[in-house]
Amino acid sequence: MPYEFNPRGTFACTGMVGYGTHRKPAGTWSDDTSMALATCDSIRRLGRIDTTDMRQRFERWYHGGAYTVDGLFDVGGCTADAIRSGRGRTGEYDNGNGSLMRILPLAFTGAADGEVRAVSAITHAHRVSCDCCVDMVRIARQLIAGETPADVAGDLSGVPEDEIRSGGFVCDTHRAALWCLVNTGSYAECVLAAVNLGEDTDTTAAVAGGLAGIVYGIASIPSA
């Protein structure tokens, strides 16, 4: 999160630091984690996928700072509009990564594809965003079942970094997260690779880190 919006090559992230883009202490999480926590909390409390409950939790986050360290400070335009209006955005230009960044918890449930789409559509309801979320949940389930990064990453192994985009478009984040996973060998390497791609650093690292967590396990996360 401290490197969000910085162009690739203008910095080198080697570990957890504070301040930077949003001037927050080290360890402060951004909207990606807050919305994922709200998603997890809904599933934990209800024992099912309930998009009305999830939306209400997102509203508590947006309006009241729930699931944050010290209040809301970062939210995508599409997400903010969807929460304010109560309707997911459906336009072609509404395909940011704001639903992909919070979708991985569904891989640990029995959610069907239609439910994954509905969860995406709380904020990002265009087919492209929904399809990316469905595919990411399927990939995560393959990793949970024991498949390797090489099994799920297609032909991304060895692709040069300059062919990977790391902005806010959902398909770019999907591809960048898989690229980081298959071209690194540990949790820390994967997350740092994602951050060092630049631009939408917190979201690329959130998605890549979620996948790496499945592959390498919680014990692989550096205590620092």
Task: Quote the number of domains for the chain.
Answer: 1
Judge whether 101 and 35 are in contact, CB under 8 Å.
Answer: yes
Write down the pLDDT at residue 39: 98
Q: Which sign does the torsion angle of CA 144, 150, 151, 152 carry? A: positive
Please state, for a pLDDT cut of 90, what percent of the chain lies above it: 95
105, 95, 96, 94: which is closest to 67 by C-alpha?
105
In a domain, 34, yes or no: yes
Q: How far apart are CA 49 and CA 132, in angstroms?
A: 18
Write down the pLDDT at residue 112: 98
> Model confidence at 74, in pLDDT bands (50, 70, 90)?
confident
Q: How many residues does the chain have?
A: 224
Q: How far apart are CA 50 and CA 62, in angstroms?
A: 18
Q: Which sign does the torsion angle of CA 120, 123, 124, 126 carry? A: positive
Residue 65 has which token pair? 């700072």
In a domain, 165, yes or no: yes
Q: What is the CATH classification number for the domain harbouring 202?
A: 1.10.4080.10
> Model confidence at 162, in pLDDT bands (50, 70, 90)?
very high
In a domain, 15, yes or no: no
- What is the pLDDT averaged over residues 28-34? 95
pTM of the model: 0.95
Q: Residue 158: give the domain boundaries.
A: 20-220
Secondary structure class of 28 (helix, strand, coil): coil
> Model confidence at 224, in pLDDT bands (50, 70, 90)?
confident
Write down the pLDDT at residue 158: 94
> What are 171-194's pLDDT values in tens digits?
999 999 999 999 999 999 999 999
In a domain, 140, yes or no: yes
Helix (H) or strand (E) holding 210: helix 201-216
In a domain, 129, yes or no: yes
Residue 102 has pLDDT above 90, yes or no: yes
Write down the pLDDT at residue 60: 97
In a domain, 1, yes or no: no
Radius of gyration of the chain (CA): 16
Q: Which sign does the torsion angle of CA 183, 32, 152, 109 carry? A: positive
In a domain, 14, yes or no: no
Residue 135 has pLDDT above 90, yes or no: yes
In a domain, 12, yes or no: no
8, 76, 24: which is closest to 16 by C-alpha?
24
